[in-house]
Structure 1
Amino acid sequence: MAATVETRLSDRQREAVEAALSLGYYDIPRTATHEAVADALDCAPSTAAEHLRKAESRVLHALFDG
């Protein structure tokens, strides 16, 4: 059985994406920064940015690479 896009994310990546969505990180125009996501996750901004990059990569690969 193929994994869904959501199940390809680690728990922490899912938390980061959920926080980013709720804070407006993906809004246009963007209304939150990765620093705000980091505050919500209680981690360093670089860590939050890495979680988001990895999650975005996994989602895009799942959608376009099958």
Structure 2
Amino acid sequence: MVDMGVLMGTIRRFGLVGPAYEIVAPAEAAASGEPQMRIHVLESDEHLDYPVSAILADPTDD
């Protein structure tokens, strides 16, 4: 299990060339029970719930 607190404040990208997003807080689990985090997409200023499994697959934005 991932310590979600470690993810908060980090910046990642949707895939190798997608927009950057910041992980800002834990979110409610999806209907399937999958854990999610609230993210802030920097380019569009959107706030979304995004699955932790997808976050872990996305590269960090160094």
TM tier, shorter chain? under 0.3
Q: Which has the higher strand share?
A: 2
Structure holding more helix per residue: 1
Structure with the greater relative contact order (CA < 8 A, sep ≥ 6): 1 or 2?
A: 1
**Higher-Rg member (1/2):** 1
TM-score, length of structure 2 as denominator length: 0.27
